[in-house]
Amino acid sequence: MGLLDLVKRMRGEDGLQKMAEQTAELCIDEVWHRVVGRIINMRILEARGYIRARGIRVIRAAVDRQISSQPALIRMQRSRLINQSVEVVIGLVMPRLAAAQQAPAALSRAA
């Protein structure tokens, strides 16, 4: 075990990243439904900011639910966990966005 591994273990970074990934998996569908109608025509950086802004409330609520039963050390890192979860959610939404942009627009039926 190297020094870097020891420091990571002491700070709980591995566990924090796993919790961020779990949180993101719990939130991804709700965040996607909040943003999909608007981000289809956005550029990548604009879409990332929009996802961050619209998804933060969902992610905060999920993080709070997850850490309520965790040790104090994890609860003290709430803001880091939220930030990491947001980044993971963005990473999960972007491939969905790319696929949605590639898909042909649904044809509406003539009235």
- Name the region of 79 (left: φ>0; alpha: ψ -120 to 50; beta: rest): alpha
Distance CA(39)–CA(45), nearest Å, equals 10
DSSP 41-73: TS-HHHHHHHHHHHHHHHHHHHHHHHHTTS-HH
Distance CA(5)–CA(48), nearest Å, equals 31
Spell out the per-residue pLDDT of the chain, length 111, in tens.
Answer: 565 554 455 455 678 899 999 999 999 999 999 999 999 999 999 999 999 999 999 999 999 998 888 777 777 889 999 999 999 999 999 999 999 888 766 545 555
Distance CA(19)–CA(66), nearest Å, equals 8
| pLDDT of 6 | 47
Sign of CA dihedral 52, 37, 65, 70: negative
Give the type of residue at 61. A
Q: What is the pTM of this model?
A: 0.77
| pLDDT of 111 | 52
| pLDDT of 4 | 54
| pLDDT of 58 | 97
Give residue-wise pLDDT tens across range 91-102. 999 999 999 888
